[in-house]
RNA sequence: GGGCCGGUAGAUCAGUCUGGAAGAUCGCUUCCUUGGCAUGGAAGAGGCCGCGAGUUCGAAUCUCGCCCGGUCCA
């Protein structure tokens, strides 16, 4: 459902916005002539709404307020709202693993989507506040290119979420009146604003099919906070009041801190140490008045509306009284420093929470950020250590987010690796460009596109590298836009095929799962609830595990009154478990049945599933805290575990993981299974429980391996790690950049694998009659000898040819002036070529045709001396036709042959005639 | 997830479109030149042309599948 804001606006009138606060304080409602929004003010002659553009830019710069730094701002907001009845909850990771639809947490409300907002689970507290770090690295929100140029944009920022939830059951929340009261009180009492300095601008918020009114607080030409009230949705095309109404106030924490300090840009306010460091290393100095004016004007850039800011920035330069080039020269380095500090901060935060730069998904945005750091450093020839800037930003973040410093080593390791990869791209880029320049002194647009898309060499790098060779490359301003146009033409979509999509069940029957009670049990009784489309049996309870959470379903049989059915598939629709039977089911509703699952198969599946949990943590122990499960698959035969990792896993690392995992097996650690409320589980165990990806529902099954691993997982698990028996890692591969797949065998399949390997080893060593131990050495020797002997054979063949045709032993015939050698002989094509070419060396004017046959084909080779005018190619072609093949060649050499062995005699009888007709 | 590019000697790459005796440069070995070094000259060693099928008389080259690496986009 997408309805334009103008359309929605018709639904909102004065009453929807006029809160108690406005009445009490005597706010009046006005219309902003600049942006056409209604706004509320205490100043009757106030003309505009007070938004940055309407107010003519920022008015708070250089104006000292409460002077709260980043961490003090978090504390100030937290203290205020806790004092006013809110609970402060811990922030969520910036990598949003509880959601499948986004890579990074982009707003504080995302923490509560979808489960809380859909009413499935209760919020962790109500009302609450959360200092949620958010990441916005692209898309509609901010163009990365503009970071640093606008004085106010960041790729990561804290959205200090203030949320209240209201529904029939959630009665502790509050609505607009209290929200605006709190808002006004904070702004006046804590931030120290005077009441007549604050305006509230009316607006409509919409997102995810929902919408509602919002009131933005404005002061001194900037938006301070947006009070959003999620109140409405759509049902059958009609507007409907939501069952769950939510206060969604996102305090732009950095903005608030900046406002309180009045520094020229947001960057100095938030991470002053990083900016000071960069300025100092580069002896950078700028006239403070110029910077202030630049910053004030930057606030007016219409970032949200225009993608390429260049035209606007040319205007900006004019207003500053300088040319665009001059502005880039004086302020460009500073803008780059801002961007570098920002990017380092975002990278530190995301990597700390387990993201990895790569060429896919959100990881790609991180790679772009790092490469921009390097590119900007080079472009303005900035002096600084990338390690230092990361350390400074890690320090800065760690005051309020201490988990960042715990990952310091990992962050440096990943950044170093990425830089190395980038440098390698550049080295190969230089070579490729040098080669191109040897062929042509010009690099055209199409070439730029190829270099960028295939080799990852961006146009600026091409320009730079070409300049080293004194070639100027013209890079079009709209290069990236043209690339996008090229790509959008290639876009295509794929449909998902959902098995049993067409199957309709009358209602959502709740099948009680017996498989959680005792996982080793194989027999059960139950009652038939329904049979759908003859084959699909629904029971009131079941031991059959339906496919889900990466674990395959059980198989087995269901019987009653002498009839027995095989269960071939088990799956879930909603909370109904459906047993797919091998033949048509004749059970009436209410029939009591006996069920039995294939216990051996179930055990094998459980071994693999539990082994995956064991391996997951073993991999984390060996490779680092950035390891997360990115997918898994468990069957009776094998298991696969995909983990997040930035490079291939070495053989040694695999062995370490395997050893560690088996130690856990040998220690017979107990496995505790429990059901927990989602919010309690998140609180007690943290987000590491979401290894398996998104887990639906209010109640989570928690699988806890004693002092090893805790995950939310709906699968069936052993009671004890010892029951796994043995774990064998049989391989690993990088299935995509940033993800490594581990192939795992547990229990019997592991044993079979080991025995099979032993068998292969034994057979191989038997062939060579050696012990398996010395097999590598022996094979190596054999391989070496094989190569040597191949070479000797080549040499000998050459010698044989020399001996055979250098003497007068062979008979030759002469037609006109041409000496002719014809022989039916043996040998492969290569050998014949050597001999024939050797043979004609004895003559000024001579040809040699050799014919050989093996078990399935005839080979014909012809050679002529350089002076001979014989058409050797035509001769061989004609001869080859006789044996059912064809031939060809070039220069003095002709090659051919065919499959008809019995025609060789025909060849011999026709050969002289064919030769004669092709000698001119 | 969807594309695109690449894998040939120890290294860097030609050759692939248009099938026909596997090449270049650097490096390596030996010899010559020199009092020694730099250099210069000569000879030589070094290739499962990523793997597997297919087409063909014949495949580094064409077709299909796989493996590995790189890269762009969502």
* pLDDT 10s digits, A178-230: 999 999 999 999 999 998 899 999 998 887 778 899 999 999 888 899 999 99
Would residue A564 count as lying in a domain?
yes
Segment (H or E) for A239: strand A238-252
Q: Which of A567, A597, A627 is the last residue of a domain?
A: A597
Residues lying close to strand B (Cβ under 7 A), chosen from 214-253 of chain A, are: none
Q: How confident is the model at residue A462 (pLDDT cuts 50, 70, 90)?
A: confident
| One domain, residues A591 and A670 | no
Percent over 70 (pLDDT), chain A: 91
Indicate if CB(A362) is under 7 A from strand B.
no
Q: How confident is the model at residue A432 (pLDDT cuts 50, 70, 90)?
A: confident
Distance CA A414, CA A349 (A): 13
Range of the domain at A536: 512-597
| One domain, residues A610 and A569 | no
Indicate if CB(A888) is under 7 A from strand B.
yes
Q: What is the pLDDT of residues A663-721, one digit of tens each?
A: 999 999 999 999 988 878 888 888 788 876 666 677 888 999 998 999 988 889 999 99
Would residue A580 count as lying in a domain?
yes
Q: How far is the CA of A888 from the C1' of B59 (A)?
A: 15
Indicate if CB(A421) is under 7 A from strand B.
yes
* First vs last C-alpha separation in chain A: 84
HSE-up of residue A827 (Cα within 13 Å, Cβ side): 22
| One domain, residues A730 and A834 | no
Coil vs helix vs strand at A81: helix
| One domain, residues A593 and A722 | no
| A359 phi/psi in degrees, rounded to 5 | -105, 15
A875, A894 in Cβ contact below 8 A? yes
A629-668 per-residue burial string, b: 16 or more CB within 10 A, e: under 16: bbebbbbbebbbbbbbbbeebeeebbebbbebbbebbeee
Q: How far is the CA of A841 from the C1' of B21 (A)?
A: 15
Q: How far is the CA of A357 from the C1' of B6 (A)?
A: 22
Average pLDDT on A232-247 reads: 85
Residues lying close to strand B (Cβ under 7 A), chosen from 739-778 of chain A, are: none
Place of tokens 């929200």: A179
Of the candidates A95, A597, A79, the one whose C-alpha atom is nearest the C-alpha of residue A346 is A95
Q: What is the pLDDT of residues A380-393, one digit of tens each?
A: 889 999 999 999 99
Would residue A468 count as lying in a domain?
no
Residues lying close to strand B (Cβ under 7 A), chosen from 132-171 of chain A, are: 138
Mean pLDDT for chain A overall: 84
Distance CA A320, CA A298 (A): 11
Indicate if CB(A360) is under 7 A from strand B.
yes
| One domain, residues A206 and A219 | yes
Q: How far is the CA of A425 from the C1' of B50 (A)?
A: 22
| Adjacency order of strands within the sheet including A128-135 | A28-31, A38-41, A199-207, A210-219, A222-235, A238-252, A156-166, A128-135, A87-88
At A808 the pLDDT is 45
The β-bridge relationship of strands A156-166 and A128-135 is antiparallel
| A645 phi/psi in degrees, rounded to 5 | -155, 150
| Tokens coding A885 | 């093949």
Decide: residue A222, CB within 10 A, 0-12 exposed, 13-18 middle, 19+ buried. Answer: buried
- Helices A408-439, A459-468: axis angle to 10 degrees equals 60
Q: How far is the CA of A791 from the C1' of B44 (A)?
A: 15
Q: How many domains does chain A have?
A: 4
A687, A92 in Cβ contact below 8 A? yes
| One domain, residues A560 and A709 | no
Chain B bases having any atom below 7 Å from a protein CB: 1-5, 12-14, 20-22, 46-48, 56-58, 67-74
Residues lying close to strand B (Cβ under 7 A), chosen from 644-673 of chain A, are: 648
Coil vs helix vs strand at A13: coil
Cα dihedral sign, A689-A693-A698-A699: negative
| One domain, residues A56 and A32 | yes
A130, A89 in Cβ contact below 8 A? yes
Indicate if CB(A420) is under 7 A from strand B.
no
Indicate if CB(A453) is under 7 A from strand B.
yes
Q: Which residue has the higher pLDDT, A737 or A406?
A: A406
At A360 the pLDDT is 64
| Tokens coding A327 | 């502005």
Q: How confident is the model at residue A544 (pLDDT cuts 50, 70, 90)?
A: very high
Would residue A306 count as lying in a domain?
no
Average pLDDT on A879-899 reads: 88
CATH number of the domain at A621, please.
3.30.980.10
Indicate if CB(A490) is under 7 A from strand B.
yes
Indicate if CB(A361) is under 7 A from strand B.
yes
Q: How confident is the model at residue A782 (pLDDT cuts 50, 70, 90)?
A: confident
Q: Torsion-angle region of residue A139: left (phi > 0), alpha (psi -120 to 50) or beta?
A: left
């Amino acid at each position: 459902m997408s309805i334009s804001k103008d359309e929605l606006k018709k639904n909102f009138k004065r009453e929807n916005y006029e809160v108690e606060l406005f009445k009490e304080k005597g706010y009046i409602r006005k219309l902003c002539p600049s942006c056409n929004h209604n706004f509320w003010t205490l100043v009757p002659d106030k003309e505009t709404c007070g938004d940055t553009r309407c107010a003519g830019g920022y008015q708070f710069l250089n104006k000292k307020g409460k002077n709260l730094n980043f961490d003090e701002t978090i504390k100030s907001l937290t203290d205020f709202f806790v004092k006013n009845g809110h609970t402060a909850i811990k922030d969520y990771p910036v990598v949003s693993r509880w959601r499948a639809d986004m890579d990074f947490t982009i707003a504080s409300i995302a923490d509560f989507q979808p489960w809380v907002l859909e009413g499935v689970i209760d919020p962790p507290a109500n009302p609450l506040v959360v200092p949620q770090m958010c990441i916005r690295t692209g898309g509609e929100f901010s163009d990365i290119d503009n970071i640093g140029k606008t004085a106010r944009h960041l790729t990561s920022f804290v959205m200090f979420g203030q949320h209240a939830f209201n529904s029939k059951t959630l009665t502790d929340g509050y609505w607009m009146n209290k929200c605006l009261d709190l808002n006004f009180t904070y702004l006046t009492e804590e931030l120290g604003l005077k009441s007549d300095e604050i305006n509230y601008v009316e607006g409509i918020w919409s997102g995810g099919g929902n919408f509602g009114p919002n009131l933005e607080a404005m002061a001194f030409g900037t938006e301070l906070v947006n009070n959003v009230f999620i109140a409405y949705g759509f049902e059958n095309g009609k507007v409907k009041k939501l069952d769950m109404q939510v206060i969604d106030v996102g305090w732009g924490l950095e903005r608030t801190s900046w406002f309180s300090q009045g520094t020229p840009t947001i960057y100095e306010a938030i991470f002053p140490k990083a900016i000071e460091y960069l300025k100092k290393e580069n002896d950078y100095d700028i006239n403070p008045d110029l910077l202030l004016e630049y910053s004030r004007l930057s606030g007016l850039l219409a970032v949200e509306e225009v993608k390429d800011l260049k035209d606007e920035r040319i205007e900006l330069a004019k207003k500053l009284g300088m040319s665009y080039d001059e502005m880039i020269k004086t302020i460009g380095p500073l803008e780059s420093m801002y961007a570098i500090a920002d990017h380092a901060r975002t990278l530190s935060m995301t990597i700390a929470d387990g993201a990895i730069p790569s060429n896919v998904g959100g990881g790609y945005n991180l790679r772009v950020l790092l490469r921009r750091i390097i590119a900007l450093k080079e472009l303005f020839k900035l002096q600084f250590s990338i390690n230092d800037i990361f350390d400074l930003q890690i320090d800065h973040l760690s005051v309020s987010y201490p988990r960042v410093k715990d990952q310091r080593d990992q962050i440096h390791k990943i950044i170093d690796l990425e830089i190395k990869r980038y440098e390698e791209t550049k080295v190969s880029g230089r070579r490729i460009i040098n080669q191109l320049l040897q062929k042509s002194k010009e690099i055209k647009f199409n070439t730029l596109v190829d270099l960028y898309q295939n080799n990852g060499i961006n146009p600026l790098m091409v320009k730079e590298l070409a300049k080293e060779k004194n070639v100027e490359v013209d890079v079009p301003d709209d290069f990236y836009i043209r690339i996008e146009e090229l790509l959008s033409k290639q876009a295509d979509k794929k449909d998902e095929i959902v098995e049993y999509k067409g199957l309709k069940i009358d209602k959502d029957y709740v099948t009680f799962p017996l498989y959680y009670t005792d996982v080793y049990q194989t027999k059960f009784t139950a009652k038939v609830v329904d049979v759908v489309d003859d084959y699909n049996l629904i029971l009131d309870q079941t031991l059959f595990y339906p496919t889900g959470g990466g674990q395959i379903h059980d198989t087995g049989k269901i019987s009653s009154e002498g009839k027995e059915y095989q269960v071939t598939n088990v799956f879930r629709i909603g909370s109904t478990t459906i047993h797919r039977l091998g033949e048509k089911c004749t059970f009436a509703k209410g029939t009591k049945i006996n069920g039995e699952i294939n216990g051996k198969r179930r055990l094998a599946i459980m071994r693999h599933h539990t082994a995956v949990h064991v391996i997951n943590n073993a991999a984390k122990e060996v490779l680092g805290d950035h390891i997360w499960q990115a997918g898994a698959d468990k069957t009776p035969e094998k298991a696969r575990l995909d983990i997040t990792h930035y490079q291939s896993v070495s053989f040694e690392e695999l062995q370490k993981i395997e050893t560690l995992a088996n130690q856990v097996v040998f220690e017979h650690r107990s496995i505790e299974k429990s059901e927990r409320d989602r919010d309690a589980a998140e609180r007690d165990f943290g987000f590491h429980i979401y290894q398996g990806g998104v887990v639906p529902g209010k109640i989570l099954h928690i699988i806890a391996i004693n002092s090893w691993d805790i995950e939310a997982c709906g699968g069936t698990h052993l009671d004890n790690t010892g029951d796994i028996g043995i774990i064998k890692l049989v391989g690993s591969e990088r299935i995509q950049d940033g993800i490594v797949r581990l192939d795992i065998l547990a229990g019997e399949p592991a044993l079979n694998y080991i025995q099979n390997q032993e068998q292969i080893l034994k057979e191989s060593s038997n062939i060579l009659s050696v012990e398996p131990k010395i097999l590598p050495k022996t094979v190596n020797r054999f391989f070496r000898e094989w190569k040597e002997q191949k070479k000797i054979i080549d040499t000998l063949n050459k010698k044989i040819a020399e001996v055979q045709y250098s003497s007068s032993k062979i008979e030759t015939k002469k037609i006109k002036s041409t000496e002719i050698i014809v022989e039916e002989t043996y040998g492969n094509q290569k050998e014949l070529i050597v001999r024939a070419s050797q043979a004609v060396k004895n003559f000024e004017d001579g040809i040699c045709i050799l014919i050989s046959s093996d078990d399935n084909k005839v080979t014909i080779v012809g050679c002529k001396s350089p002076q001979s005018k014989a058409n050797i190619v035509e001769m061989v072609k004609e001869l080859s036709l006789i044996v059912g093949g064809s031939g060809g060649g070039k220069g003095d050499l002709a090659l051919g042959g065919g499959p008809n062995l019995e025609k060789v005699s025909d060849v011999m009888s026709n050969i002289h005639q064919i030769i004669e007709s092709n000698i001119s």
